[in-house]
Structure 1
Amino acid sequence: MATLYAAISFSAKVGRCKAPAVTWKGSGVSGRNLISMGATRTGLIFLRPSRFRVCVAKAETVSKVMDIVKQQLALGEDAALTPESRFTEFGADSLDTVEIVMALEEEFKITVEEDNAQSITTIQEAADLIDKLVDEKPAA
């Protein structure tokens, strides 16, 4: 994953009605990263990926994902899953992850692109992606 280092510079005349000129230099932003900003003495703002993630999935979606993961990995009802649980913690390999994604696609009637499927490693990531795809799906 590429790290984003970009700079935005502003220029404006104080006391005049000149709009600020904004210039952007940098690379693309990964959809999984948030951006943190910090100003310097030179007036430049540097953008860096944040270490924090926003969890947007509904509790119902997270619960359904947990149930499907338990079923696909043949875990007992007493298995202690949390949204932060990684599939690998419960012995899942890449084939198991593919089967989990296929079961999620069937349950939620969505299609997960291969790039997105490979990035799913936790229950929360799966639930966030599902809610995003369900919200984007056109109404039938």
Structure 2
Amino acid sequence: MVKALNCPNCAATFDPKDNVCEYCGSYIITPKGKQITYDSNDFKLANKKIFFREIEMNKNEFPIRSGLGNMYYSVTKSDGGRLLLTNQRLIFCAHAINLNPNLYWEVYLDEVVRTELGLNFFITQKIHVFDEEENETIFVVYGGKHWINELDHALNRIK
């Protein structure tokens, strides 16, 4: 059974299977599947608000890829949640089961200097994101090669 959610824009109840609020038309990115790649053409021409959890996308911002991921600190410490790549930024929101359930992290793509693929286990991979100040943030994700390809493609579009 799928629990109904409230739209972050108008607070109406919506079915998360639909992804669209029937009252205000907002698109809500809900946590479906391990990894999802979006068709940007579905969002470019639409005149509707887009939300990732309670976070409203900026003007002309649309999702590219989302998926399960862990913000990696060390072998013994990480926070699980969901990672979202848009054409403007990379966003991580922790899920409620963490010790730090309110963790929110973002970086605008124009602040990203480079990304690297790292190894982890057989089915997951680490992606390393470096900003202008050489801060490194590491995520463990499914399909790291796809994440790196999408990130690099998005970075090349803004530069």
Q: Which structure has the bigger radius of gyration?
A: 1
Q: TM-score, normalised to structure 2's length?
A: 0.25
Higher normalized strand content (fraction of residues): 2
Name which structure has the greater RCO, CA cutoff 8 Å, separation 6+. 1
Higher normalized helix content (fraction of residues): 1
